[in-house]
Structure 1
Amino acid sequence: MYLGLHVLPVCLLLVSLTTFCLTYILSVTRNDVSPVLPYISDTGTTPYESCFFSFFLNLSAILALCTVYIRYRWLRLVSNEERSLRCCNIIALVLGELSALGLSLVANFQETNLEGVHMTGAAMTIGCGILYMFSQTALSYKMADTLSLSRLRLIMAVFCSLTAASFLIATITAKSLRSSTTDPLHWASTDKGYPAHVTAAVSEWLTCIVYLLFYATFVQDFKRTSVSVSLNIITMEESEGIKV
């Protein structure tokens, strides 16, 4: 049986975006968050939308792990074991796996329950994720991929770096200006720090969407890759394997 691997990054993109849309709709209809530009984590921190948030983001984390590993194996096969490429590929693998692990932490530890663990997971997801984007971009140039694809990956990596920095600065600014007595999940236009909050929320959504789209750039390479699965049964009476 042969499995086409290009479905992995596609499923990662679709599952993640569907999760964000679903939890946004649920949290807004239940009045758990403000309808205008909530943070992604805010839409998945309150039951029952938190159940969907955890389940589907864990699925996304698994898909990300698989995608990162398959990308590593693919590059290893086509790089002819050149030392510099091999080292860069291993670094990219570690960064990608750490990013996926961070996504699982974000999914399982909601910000209103264990904020420290949640924020650590978010930092791993975005921080290691952006470094993963740059490492894959470097590999694209070294592997002499099409120039347009290499440039696209570079643009996406730089864009995510800028939006992530904007998110961090704006979030700190918004929280420092806003009163600690107000509901952190419901922002109003009259709140101090609201413009910074809007900037942070837009930056967060853009960062996550572009980061997920980055994985979609692997689709063409994965279309040329498949996994062959076979099962050999050895019995006491037979010395030959029966292939199923």
Structure 2
Amino acid sequence: MCSGLHFLPIGLLLVSLTTFCLTYIVSVLRKDVNPVLPYISDTGTTPYESCLFSFFLNLSAVLAFSTVYVRYRWVRIVTDEGRSLRCHNILAVVAGWLSALGLTLVANFQETNLEGVHMTGAAMTIGCGILYMILQTLLSYKMDDTLSLSRLRLVMTVVCFLTAASFLFATLAAKSQRSDSVDPLHWSSSDQGYGAHVTAAISEWLTCIVYLLFYATFVQDLKRTSMVVSFHVSTIAESEGIKV
């Protein structure tokens, strides 16, 4: 039996933030990016930091996948799960899993190698992640969670949506203004579109941090949650209905 499943969201938060900080430090020390406000993906696109980025983000994806499933099961257990609540819960687990899948694409397909796949993964991670936050916030109100917790999730969802929108529009603006001669991993203050780039980078970091902190709101509930895994091995004789 595995008790105290709150280690899943805590592990997701710690592993992800440690990954971002570690790859940032390594990429700056190796001078692969400028130290002032690089995109998160920029810090994990060049070897050797790309290896760390892929390994630990894959671990984060596993933790996210597990947390989403455990949260889904928790909602089913503690509620009578009427039709509306059941639909919201199923949609939430699908959105959460798609977000985790997107994270694996971000981890394994660097933007300088396969930008299309990388950006698809980023869109899945953020887009489906925000949808997951919206659905979990709705579930909080439907389940009559403590008002403070429901309001906290609502505030975090709104903040994450706004920062994600800012990241999207600022990134598009920075790319449209950037000269072809500018190295996208080494922006300088004199480059055209630098202001939009800074806005996009800040927005991206805030979006990811708020999204990860949202998972931390599950900690209190999962502290009281345990999981039992059982295995049953049947012999060939048993499966054929033969008494032995």
TM-score bucket of the superposed structures, by smaller chain: over 0.9
CA distance in 1, matches of 2:170, 2:234: 62
Equivalence for 1:120: 120
Equivalence for 2:241: none
Equivalence for 1:148: 148
Equivalence for 1:108: 108
Relative to structure 1, the CA distance from residue 92 to residue 231 in structure 2 (aligned partners, 3 Å threshold; closer, same or farther) is closer
Equivalence for 1:23: 23
CA distance in 2, matches of 1:56, 1:9: 15
Matched, 1:172 2:172: yes
Q: How far apart are 1:233 and its partner, in Å?
A: 6.9
Mapping of residues 178-197 of structure 1, within 5 Å: 178-197=178-197
Equivalence for 2:3: 3
CA distance in 2, matches of 1:183, 1:197: 13
Q: How far apart are 1:230 and its partner, in Å?
A: 4.5
Q: How far apart are 1:3 and its partner, in Å?
A: 2.9
5+ long unaligned stretches in structure 1: 237-244
Equivalence for 2:138: 138
The residue type equivalent to 2:127 in the other structure is: G
Q: How far apart are 1:234 and its partner, in Å?
A: 7.4
CA distance in 2, matches of 1:182, 1:195: 14
Matched, 1:92 2:92: yes
Equivalence for 2:240: none
Mapping of residues 59-78 of structure 1, within 5 Å: 59-78=59-78
The residue type equivalent to 1:226 in the other structure is: S
Equivalence for 1:240: none
CA distance in 1, matches of 2:189, 2:91: 44
Equivalence for 1:224: 224
RMSD: 1.3
Q: How far apart are 1:73 and its partner, in Å?
A: 0.5
Q: How far apart are 1:77 and its partner, in Å?
A: 1.0
CA distance in 1, matches of 2:118, 2:55: 15
- Give the total of aligned pairs: 236
Q: How far apart are 1:81 and its partner, in Å?
A: 2.5
Give the conservation status (yes or no) of the 8 Å contact 2:182–2:191.
Answer: no
Q: How far apart are 1:43 and its partner, in Å?
A: 0.1
Residues 57-99 of structure 1, C-alpha deviation per residue, up to 9 Å, x if partnerless?
0000000000000000100111212111000000001100000
Q: How far apart are 1:224 and its partner, in Å?
A: 1.1
Q: How far apart are 1:2 and its partner, in Å?
A: 3.2
CA distance in 1, matches of 2:233, 2:127: 46
Relative to structure 1, the CA distance from residue 193 to residue 139 in structure 2 (aligned partners, 3 Å threshold; closer, same or farther) is same
Matched, 1:204 2:184: no
Tell me the SS of whatever aligns to 2:227. strand
CA distance in 2, matches of 1:65, 1:155: 23
Mapping of residues 27-42 of structure 1, within 5 Å: 27-42=27-42
Tell me the SS of whatever aligns to 1:184. coil
Tell me the SS of whatever aligns to 1:57. helix
CA distance in 1, matches of 2:141, 2:131: 16
The residue type equivalent to 1:81 in the other structure is: E
5+ long unaligned stretches in structure 2: 237-244
CA distance in 2, matches of 1:231, 1:167: 47
Residues 185-226 of structure 1, C-alpha deviation per residue, up to 9 Å, x if partnerless?
000010011111100000000000000000000000101100
Q: How far apart are 1:232 and its partner, in Å?
A: 6.0
Equivalence for 2:239: none
Tell me the SS of whatever aligns to 2:181. coil
